[in-house]
Amino acid sequence: MAVANLNDREFSYTQADFERVRKIIYKKAGINLSDSKKQLVYSRLARRLRALKLPDFSAYLSYLENTDEEQQEFVNALTTNLTAFFREEHHFDFLAEFVKNFKHKRNLRVWCAAASTGEEPYSIAITLAEAFGRYDPPVEIIASDIDSNVLNEGRAGVYNINRIESLSLERKRQFFLKGKGDKNAGKVKVIPDLGRLIEFKQINLLDAKWPLTGLFDVIFCRNVMIYFDKSTQVNLLEKMVKLMQKDGLYIAGHSESFSQANHLVKLVGKTVYRLADVNNRNTTDES
Ligand SMILES: C[S@@+](CC[C@H](N)C(=O)[O-])C[C@H]1O[C@@H](n2cnc3c(N)ncnc32)[C@H](O)[C@@H]1O
């Protein structure tokens, strides 16, 4: 098998270019790129060089540094958006159980903090609709991400039919509309009732202040902390627990562990956490 010579690349791309990319994406999004990501960065950003008709990475990085509009494209190109409906299904079973014990009169509030293309917040919405037994459950879901493209996909709620292959027939029938005609054949759209439960908004977890109000009963923050270094992870977790109701849940991704932050959260299920110290809180908004 012929192996492509890295020097035969379409665009000149040096170690110094990679270091520059690494620095910028860390500063902008907290994403910590290891050396093994050098080729990945090349292929993700080469698309931008082609689109902008730039001759090499050095020219692209200078353009990036001087062009505000390119900043978002750069972030969008470097995020990894892998997700799925009901990914790590046990979390949704946990959420359904949580609803059974939810006795408050107010809406149940969920923040999905790295929502990607929407499969995760829609899975939350389906779980809550089922648990409350109605298409208009008393819930509010905020679905956020740093990547503007994935947020648009989430808002549209249109997916290739194979994305819902593993869902039960009942879920497919109840929560998805099948696309018709040349343009939409092979696609499904989530029903509008689910869309009404979710507000998609752009939030960079690295920002000092998040545009959020009130406390949350459940925070899903799955498979994003892995891109950050340990100190960023703990800083973010510190901020997130301040946004949790006393009896709230923090749900992490399968390879994210907070055993080193047991002053903040305690494990109560498979990568499911509750507040470590509910007495040490000065905020509640019970009703
Ligand atoms: C691998 S996906 C995880 C999606 C979903 N939570 C799941 O587990 O299936 C990671 C997501 O985190 C987002 N992300 C990366 N850095 C971020 C940041 N600084 N602030 C907010 N979102 C970020 C990416 O855009 C991407 O959509």
What's the CATH number for 12-78? Answer: 1.10.155.10
pLDDT at 259: 85
Q: Residue 55 has what DSSP assignment?
A: S
Tokens 């917040």 sit on residue: 121
Which residue ranges make up each domain of the chain? 12-78, 90-275
User: Probe ligand 1: pick from 27, 44, 146, max atoms within 8 Å of CB?
Assistant: 146
Please answer whether residues 238 and 275 qualify as being in contact, where contact means their C-beta atoms are separated by less than 8 angstroms.
no
Residue 253 beta carbon below 6 angstroms from any ligand 1 atom: yes
How far apart, in Å, do the first and last CA atoms of the chain sit?
A: 66
Residue 236 beta carbon below 6 angstroms from any ligand 1 atom: no
Sign of torsion over alpha carbons 239, 85, 256, 226? negative
Instruction: Give the number of C-alpha atoms closer than 13 A to the C-alpha of residue 3, restricted to the C-beta side.
Output: 1
Q: Residue 10 has what DSSP assignment?
A: S
Sign of torsion over alpha carbons 234, 228, 222, 267? negative
Please answer whether residues 245 and 207 qualify as being in contact, where contact means their C-beta atoms are separated by less than 8 angstroms.
no
Tokens 């891109």 sit on residue: 227
* C-alpha to C-alpha distance for 120 and 198, rounded to whole angstroms: 11
Distance 111 CA to ligand 1 centre (A): 13
As to burial, measured by CB atoms within 10 angstroms (0-12 exposed, 13-18 middle, 19+ buried), residue 165 is exposed
Nearest C-alpha neighbor of 163 from the set 150, 176, 151, 174: 176
Q: Residue 79 has what DSSP assignment?
A: -
Segments in the chain forming alpha helices (H): 15-29, 38-52, 57-66, 68-78, 90-100, 119-132, 148-156, 169-175, 181-184, 192-197, 230-241
Catalytic residue flag (residue 47): no
Backbone angles phi, psi at 258, to 5 degrees: -120, 35
pLDDT at 287: 46
Catalytic residue among 17, 20, 22, 145: 145
For domain 90-275, which CATH number applies: 3.40.50.1820, 3.30.420.310, 3.40.630.30, 3.40.50.150?
A: 3.40.50.150
Catalytic residue flag (residue 147): no
Which regions of the chain are under pLDDT 70?
A: 1-7, 280-287
pLDDT at 6: 54
Nearest C-alpha neighbor of 273 from the set 238, 248, 236: 248
Residue 79 beta carbon below 6 angstroms from any ligand 1 atom: yes
* Chain centroid offset of residue 185 CA: 28
